[in-house]
Amino acid sequence: MPQPPDTRPADTGVIHDIGYRGYTGPRLGRAYATRSLFTQSLRAAYGLGRSGKSKVLPMLMLGVVTVPAVIFVAVALAMKRDELPVEYAGYLSSLGLVVSVFLASQAPVLLSRDLRYHTVPLYFSRPITRTDYVRAKFAAMACAQLLLMAAPLLVLYIGALLGGMDFAYNTGHFLYGLAAAALYALVPTSVALVIAASTPRRGFGVAAIMGYLAVSSTVAAIAVGISNPTPGGSDAAQWTALISPNGLVEAVVNEVFDLGTGLDRRHAPGGLGLVVFALVAVAMVVGSYRLLLRRYRNV
């Protein structure tokens, strides 16, 4: 039976030029993409650019570390004291719990979600490497921690200068405090990031980081307190600070800058102890960074 003739119109498709042009601007490359990821991650650590409830905890932590500093300054000025009632680095050592809470809550924000969903909040026109990713995230969390530690120090320093206290003394001890803040921003942070990168579940990461930092600090503090009930007690328990990132930083800072008093003072036991403590601190940071690189090579 013959087929009916095809009455459909012939295909006359054409390509229309609607004015789109190719991009002729500068190619910013991987370095710019890495900086963008760093900036976005730093903002995310404080809940900026995220929902309102994401800002509550980091801003609360910032208030917790800053408000007591304001009170110390106000009391010193009201009483017309010649010096602050607290040392800069000593003030940071009293914030161990806050450091642990901030790291436990925010380190998984930077890593766990990306691991779980295998994506990042940014669109890159040029792909970055795994090393770029680790570098950006590591730097962002360290800077977030440094800002948290430096904020109360700045309040104390400005308050001391406004109160007419000794400029040279306060400037020197403010710099000691900044050195301590930098160590707090590197040593505990590096360990927390490794723990956060080990699981895509944010809740597991929070619990693991908080558990390790809190338990290790408590064990080290108890050991020092028990072994030094009287002046001249043994320094053997000071070595327990090696298991605690926060205690390790406090011991190194106190020994290097000769800070802290009392029977419960944390310090590296002698010259050999200081060398060992410093090497362990460096090993924690470098080792954690390399573990992060290894982790993301396998993701």
> Exposed, middle or buried by CB within 10 Å (0-12, 13-18, 19+), for 295?
middle
Percent of the chain at pLDDT > 70 equals 89
Tokens of 115: 């691991």
Residue type, 287: G
pLDDT for position 13: 61
Tokens of 220: 């080290």
> Three-state DSSP class for 182?
helix
The pLDDT score that the predictor gives to residue 233 is 52
Q: What Rg do the C-alpha atoms of the chain give, in angstroms?
A: 26
Q: How far is CA 50 from CA 40, 56, 106, in A?
A: 10, 11, 13
pLDDT of 11 > 60? The answer is no
- Write the CA distances from 219 to 141, 223, 243, integer angstroms: 26, 6, 9
- How much is the pLDDT for 194? 94
Choice between 24 and 62, residue whose per-residue pLDDT is larger: 62
pTM of the predicted model as reported, rounded to 2 decimal places: 0.84
CA 173 to chain centre: 22
- Give me the pLDDT at residue 262, please: 63
Residue 234 tokens read as 């043994």
Q: What average pLDDT does this structure show over 262-274?
A: 76
DSSP state of 10: P
Task: Please check the confidence at residue 175 and state whether its pLDDT lies above 70.
Answer: yes
Report the C-alpha gap between 298 and 260 in whole angstroms.
44
What letter represents residue 115's amino acid?
Answer: L
Amino acid at 95: L
Contact criterion met (CB below 8 Å) for 128 and 171: no
- pLDDT bin (cut points 50, 70, 90) of residue 263 is low
Per residue in 238-257, pLDDT tens?
888 888 898 899 888 888 88
Say what the pLDDT of residue 294 is: 92
Phi, psi of 118 (to 5 degrees): 55, 45
At what angle are helices 270-297 and 167-197 packed, to 10 degrees? 40
User: Cα–chain-centroid distance for residue 278?
Assistant: 19
Q: What is the mean pLDDT of residues 109-118?
A: 84
Determine the longest span between alpha carbons in the chain, in angstroms. Answer: 115
